[in-house]
Amino acid sequence: MADNGICTEEQINAVLTRLAEIRGRIEAACRAAGRSPESVTLMAVTKTVDPVLINTAADAGVTVLGENRVQEFLSKREFYRPQAEVQFIGHLQTNKVKQIIDKVTMIQSVDSLHLAEAVSRAAEAKGIVMPVLLEVNIGGEASKSGVSPDALPALLRAVQTLPGIRPDGLMTIPPPASDEAEQNAVFARMKQLYDRMAQEAPLHVLSMGMSGDYEAAVRNGATLVRIGSALFGPRVYPQAAV
């Protein structure tokens, strides 16, 4: 996939329009919670998105990109603006850690000691320290990755002892909510858990909230929201070869 200008002017303008709306909504949510808008980082989630549109967001001041898939990231990264910081947010297999360890600035999806140890070894081999977020399965869903809230304290303590890796915060993908009250309840539980863990380690990142619920996440203390389809439009997945 190349940054070859194949996107239309209409698509580019749509991204800029959506970005302005998202920023306005984040600011309003911050005001409602008595927070500064500067306390929230807007991450552009780039799965299936053409680099032209990704660079449109980067040129408009979005400085953090979120990648879900190792191979897709490696195929697109050379086309990204140099000022764009890339973090990995998808499920990460231990055998792929080495492929990205020196190409991203954070791994948000560390959900086990086994994966943390793989990150530690790969980072040490490169002479770097990799910031990570511990992924929490706040809804206890069998279909999602993440450590349980009950197991989180032990995982945090174990990760703190590893070289080459630094736990900077927590990340979660909450279960679908039927209404705003349910959204708020889940995010509030996650914030309470984050606050407890921040007493044991110098955490400063709470990554929660996506396209459908980022305003509720901000009102409940998110410091980073991961926005994909609300910014770039509905995802278009490549058709499988027949």
In the chain, the domains with their CATH numbers are 9-232 (3.20.20.10)
b/e map 181-197, b = 16+ CB within 10 Å: eebbebbebbbebbeeb
Per residue of the chain (242 residues), give pLDDT as tens.
344 457 899 999 999 999 999 999 999 999 999 999 999 999 999 999 999 999 999 999 999 999 999 999 999 999 999 999 999 999 999 999 999 999 999 999 999 999 999 999 999 999 999 999 999 999 888 888 899 999 999 999 999 999 999 999 999 999 888 788 888 999 999 999 999 999 999 999 999 999 999 999 999 999 999 999 999 998 876 654 43
d(CA 43, CA 176): 20
Write down the pLDDT at residue 3.
46
Strands of 63-156 (E only): list them: 64-67, 85-88, 106-110, 130-136
**HEC string for 55-77:** HHHHHCCCCEEEECCHHHHHHHH
CB count, 10 Å around CB of 87? 24
**Model pLDDT for residues 22-49, shown as the tens digit of each residue:** 999 999 999 999 999 999 999 999 999 9
Q: Is 227 left (phi over 0), alpha (psi -120 to 50) or beta?
A: beta
The amino acid occupying position 82 is: P
Closest CA to 207 of 228, 187, 225: 225
